[in-house]
Structure 1
Amino acid sequence: MLRFIIQAVVTALGLWLAAQIVPGVDFTSTGSLVAAAVLLGLVNAIVRPIMVILTLPLTIVTLGLFLLVVNAAMIGLTAWFLGGFVVDGLWAGIGAAIITGLLSWVAGAFSSGERSR
């Protein structure tokens, strides 16, 4: 449970940073940002694995780059479910996916360093 909360906080920070940098990504309040982070975590846990399997041939042909589109689709699906979080188009979703993914990667590198001690 603690790992999910930490991941939700990191995702919320990533979405906030994406809203500051990427045009077309916005949220109406802090509550909608937190709700978007939690909902994105649930969507990534339930829907994303199915989408990764269904799009595996296309992902192989594009050498993994299609996973950016899948991640953008998950962020778009989250925005579609949640009224206070807006993603305008595929490119805004891809930008948000890149920023959120990079921040999660960096946070994961720090957290795995603590586990090895």
Structure 2
Amino acid sequence: MRFLLQVLICAVALWVAAWILPGVAIAPPSDASGTGATVISYLVLGLIFGLVNTIVKPIVKFITGIAYILTLGLFTLIVNGLMLELVAWLAGFTPLTFVIDHFFWDAILAAIIVSIVSFIGSMLVGHRDKGAVAA
């Protein structure tokens, strides 16, 4: 259940980023139209984004650990932008369209928006420690 909520939060975060930034575009396959196809497109991209953040991001953080230290954590913005670019590249293997026009500005701004929306979404959904007992 938690994984599905994270995919939903990622999908909403990507939708907000695409809505705010003109350089970020997400579209369903050309032969599909309607709200349902758009929602499924965002959910699939949310799933891809969640998998990239779960599998690839820790490896990149480990390899570039010194850059995190030297920049006092600001390198996180670059890594998050790279993760979005990776998701856009992986989406190219699907019928979906996910385009980020300019790496530096659009990807970094999209990463900031996705981070903020994901944080707010996680706070709204709430999270419990695995060892906590429900009252």
TM over 0.5: yes
42-51 or 32-41, which moves further after superposition?
32-41
Asked whether the equivalents of residues 9 and 122 of structure 2 are also in contact (C-alpha less than 8 Å), the reply is no
2:20 is matched with which residue?
21
Helix, strand or coil at the partner of 2:126: helix
Q: Quick one: which amino acid aligns to residue 11 of structure 2?
A: A
CA RMSD of aligned residues (A): 1.8
Equivalent pairs, count: 116
Flag structure 1 segments of 5+ consecutive residues without an equivalent: none
Cα gap change, 1:55 to 1:112, in 2 (>3 Å): same
Sequence identity (%):
41
- 1:1-117 equivalences under 5 Å are 2-29=1-28, 30=38, 31-83=40-92, 84-88=97-101, 89-112=103-126
Flag structure 2 segments of 5+ consecutive residues without an equivalent: 29-37
Higher-helix-fraction structure: 1
- CA distance, structure 2, for counterparts of residue 28 and residue 110 of structure 1: 27
> TM-score, length-normalised on structure 2?
0.78
Q: Quick one: which amino acid aligns to residue 24 of structure 1?
A: G
- CA distance, structure 1, for counterparts of residue 128 and residue 61 of structure 2: 30
Shift of 1:114: 7.6
- CA distance, structure 1, for counterparts of residue 127 and residue 52 of structure 2: 27
